[in-house]
């Protein structure tokens, strides 16, 4: 990772702490669980995508930080709920006990709910952003994580467990479950830079770039689940096969799956060149999403 991206990640870590409550007179375990789930590790890819897209299009990093945190709070909520016994029943996340193992199931559910609300509060109150752009970001985010986006994809995933999906069904599942949040991170970065209105063709191109990135990211996630250890992943390795899930390596084979991710990236990167961004951060992030160990 370049120094610029490292610095960006540290700036995001500070902002993630800044927008979180620390104390509550009535519900300290809830706050502790929210902070545990959202501040103890994670690659921060989605908030970096918001910031890199915004600054690459000439927008301000300072303005992008609150919306970037909103996206990461949503991601943290989704991981808490995904790990619950009623969902994937995973006891390890970021190399630590999952939130429900550490705080109990009821508090974990509420911490996910609390982070979901905190995300929209942070986005709706984001400083220095025109109200119309904030509203647009809220519209895009609510749609991306709802019944036809992330939550819909999770539901499809639960329904599909133990069944064999076709490649096209698997792509549809992950476009919703994983892809929608990655795509909206890029879209919100573009909205903040004012590009959806001023350069609609750039917005469409970035959305198409993000579709490919989201799918490639998920394919690599499936590959790493097979090739890496629990220690490196910080979450249980081999969990897809154990849970009876359809995956890209199971459908295509390990190497073809890796090649599919690389082909998606090879299609996506020239789209950024066509746009002509002001820095290379988005391209570097896309590369990192594929060249990663966990
Ligand atoms: C429970 C509403 C609800 C949704 C869950 C995103 C999701 C949907 C579940 C997470 C489980 C999973 C493996 C999803 C695939 C997407 C994915 C690769 C998530 C992990 O993202 P990273 O690698 O996480 O960016 P870090 O740990 O870096 O924050």
pTM of the predicted model as reported, rounded to 2 decimal places: 0.97
The per-residue pLDDT for 88 is 93
Q: Judge whether residue 241 has pLDDT over 90.
A: no
Average pLDDT over residues 243-265: 95
The verdict on the CB of residue 178 being under 6 Å from ligand 1 is yes
Q: Which residue has the tokens 């770039």?
A: 209
CB under 8 Å to 204, separation ≥6 — which residues? none
- When pLDDT is averaged across residues 280-289 and rounded to a whole number, the result is 96
Do 181 and 71 contact (CB within 8 A), yes or no?
yes
pLDDT of 41 higher than 90: yes
Residue 1, pLDDT score: 85
Measured in angstroms, how far is the CA atom of residue 10 from the centroid of ligand 1?
21
Phi and psi torsions of 92, nearest 5° = -130, 135
- Residue range 35-57: average pLDDT? 97
Q: What is the mean pLDDT of the chain?
A: 96
Pocket test for ligand 1, best of 13, 71, 79, 185 (most atoms within 8 A of CB): 79
- Domains, in order of start, for the chain: 3-291 (1.10.600.10)
Question: Ligand 1 centre from 181 Cα, in Å?
Answer: 10
Is 3's pLDDT higher than 90? Answer: no
Q: Is the CB of 221 under 6 A from ligand 1?
A: yes
User: Is the Cβ–Cβ distance between 123 and 137 less than 8 Å?
Assistant: yes
CA separation for the pair 72, 42 (Å, rounded): 10
Average pLDDT over residues 162-172: 95
Q: Would the pLDDT of 77 be above 90? A: yes
**How many angstroms separate the CA atoms of 220 and 254, rounded?**
10
Q: How far apart are CA 103 and CA 173, in angstroms?
A: 30
Rounded to whole angstroms, the Cα distance separating 294 from 166 reads 26
pLDDT of 225: 95
Neighbours of 280 (CB within 10 A): 15
Spatial distance between the Cα atoms of 139 and 116, rounded to a whole number of angstroms: 15
| Helix pair 3-18, 61-83: axis angle to 10 deg | 70
CA dihedral 272, 254, 227, 237 (to 10 degrees): 90
Q: Is 82 in the pocket of ligand 1 (CB under 6 A)?
A: yes
Span 268-276, average pLDDT: 96
Q: Is residue 148 within a helix (H) or strand (E), and if so which, with residue range?
A: none
Q: What's the CA gap between 36 and 154, in Å, rounded?
A: 23
Q: What is the atom index within ligand 1 of the atom nearest the CA of 94?
A: 27
Decide: 113 and 145 in contact? Cβ < 8 Å.
Answer: no
């Amino acid at each position: 990772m370049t120094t610029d991206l490292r610095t960006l990640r540290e700036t995001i870590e500070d902002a993630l702490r800044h927008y979180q409550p620390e104390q509550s007179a009535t519900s300290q375990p809830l706050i502790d669980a929210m902070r545990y789930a959202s501040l103890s590790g994670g690659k921060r890819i989605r908030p970096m995508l918001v910031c890199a897209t915004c600054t690459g299009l000439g927008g301000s990093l300072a303005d992008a930080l609150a919306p970037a945190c909103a996206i990461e709070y949503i991601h943290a909520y989704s991981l808490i709920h995904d790990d619950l016994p009623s969902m994937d029943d995973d006891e390890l996340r970021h190399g630590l006990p999952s939130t429900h193992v550490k705080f109990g199931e009821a508090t974990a559910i509420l911490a996910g709910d609390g982070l979901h609300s905190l995300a929209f509060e942070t986005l709706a109150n984001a400083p220095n952003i025109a109200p119309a752009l904030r509203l647009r970001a809220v519209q895009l985010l609510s749609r991306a994580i709802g019944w036809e986006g992330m939550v819909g994809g999770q539901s499809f995933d639960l329904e599909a467990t133990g069944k064999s999906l076709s490649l096209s069904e698997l792509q549809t599942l992950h476009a919703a479950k994983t892809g929608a949040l990655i795509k909206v991170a890029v879209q919100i970065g573009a909205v903040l830079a004012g590009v959806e209105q001023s350069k609609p063709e750039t917005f469409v191109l970035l959305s198409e770039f993000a579709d490919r990135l989201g799918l490639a990211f998920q394919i690599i996630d499936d590959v790493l689940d097979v090739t890496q250890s629990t220690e490196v992943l910080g979450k249980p390795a081999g969990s897809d096969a154990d849970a009876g899930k359809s995956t890209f390596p199971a459908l295509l084979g390990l190497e073809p799956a890796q090649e599919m991710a690389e082909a998606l990236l090879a299609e996506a990167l020239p789209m950024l060149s066509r746009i002509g961004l002001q820095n290379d951060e988005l391209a570097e992030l896309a590369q990192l999403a594929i060249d990663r160990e966990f």
